Structure formats: structure tokens, C-alpha cells
Amino acid sequence: MSELILASTSPRRRLLLELAGIPHEVDAEPVDESVLEGESPIEYATRLARVKAQAVAERHPGRRVLGADTVVVLDGSILGKPSDEQDAESILHRLAARRHDVLTAVALVRDGVVDEAVEVTAVWMRAADPSLIRAYVATGEPMDKAGGYAAQGVGALLVDRIDGDFFNVMGLPLPRVIEMLESEEKRLGC
């Protein structure tokens, strides 16, 4: 399997690729992450994954580039990364004792050819005491996470159950990515 370029600086995505034994390097390009008017959460995540991968692929002709974007969706609305501790607490109170979806879109690009996929995982949060939420936010862990929590970290204390791919909740649907890489290699006869 030829080396992959990960169009993301996410340490979680990098860790997951390392765990799967997928050789990769990181080269990310900042993109405007504003939601376009009328754009659904799936359309939004897919567009960002594609734009990130295409921007990096322009610098690496002939190389495989993987872009990804993860969003947390509650009642059809995207919950982004908290802007501050108060916002993190507000997001976590909204999620408490409820189900939400984690969507991760991935785009694999090589020489202008784009393969896209979206993984959806349902997550149910526990009813959480305000003091637990406050203590969790004080750890700093929620601040760079979509939806304000990390299921693979201390945030696991807030999660009741997950239905679907746990890796997706971490930010990269690893089984789907492996499937895409294998499919691309078969297509190219590698």
C-alpha cells in the first residue's frame, strides 16, 4: 500500500491510521469551514472533506490524499467546536440524556479522481449533573472537539452507548477508509 497523505492535523486521525498500520504523512490546508445556506450536515461534511483533500492533492500529483470532516448533529443542527468554556457547557447540557449523530465524511483524492463516503454513528449521552459537565469542561478536553466531547477520553464518562463505528466518533471511520483504500488499489491494479 503506497503512502497516504492525510489532509488533516487531527492527532486522533493520525493515531487511528498508525494503529491500522497505514503509512502516511500529514499535509493540511486551512479551509473556510462556514456552513453554506441550505446545506445539510451531510452535504457540509462531505464538501469540507473533499475541499481539504483537493487542496492538498494539488501539491502532490499522483499521490493519494485523504480528507475528513466530522460533525455532531442534534435535531438536524450542526454542533461545532465550542468557542469557550461557557459554550462547551451549553453544548453538553443540550446533549445530556439525548441521542445525537456523529457524521464523518471522508474523501480520497488522486489525480482529480474523488471517492467520497459518509459514516453515521448514533450516540446516546447520559443524564449528567451540571457539576460533572463543569468538571469535564475544566479538563480542557472539549475545546477542540465537535460537539464538545471526546468519547475516547474523559468524555467517555458522559456517553451512555454508541450504535455504530466507534472510530467514527473519534473522527475517522477506519473500516470505511480501509475499504476505500483497498478499492482504489484494485481500481489502479496496485
pLDDT at 190: 62
Length of the chain: 190
pTM of the model: 0.93
Name the residue among 52, 74, 68 with its Cα closest to residue 174. Answer: 68
Amino acid at 35: V
Q: How confident is the model at residue 188 (pLDDT cuts 50, 70, 90)?
A: confident
The cell for 44 is 457540509
Phi-psi group of 189: left, alpha or beta (phi > 0 → left; psi -120 to 50 → alpha; rest → beta): left
Q: Find how far residue 100's CA is from the centre of its chain.
A: 15
Chain segment 131-164, per-residue pLDDT in tens: 999 999 999 999 989 999 999 999 999 999 999 9
pLDDT bracket for residue 1 (50, 70, 90):
very low
- For the chain, the straight-line distance linking the first and the last C-alpha, in angstroms and rounded, comes to 8
* Mean pLDDT computed over 9-35: 94
Percent of the chain at pLDDT exceeding 90: 93
Which positions are catalytic?
Answer: 69
Query: What is the dotted CATH code of the domain comprising 4-188?
Result: 3.90.950.10
162 phi, psi to nearest 5 deg: -130, 135
Q: How far is CA 105 from CA 19, 64, 70, 108, 174, in A?
A: 20, 16, 6, 10, 12
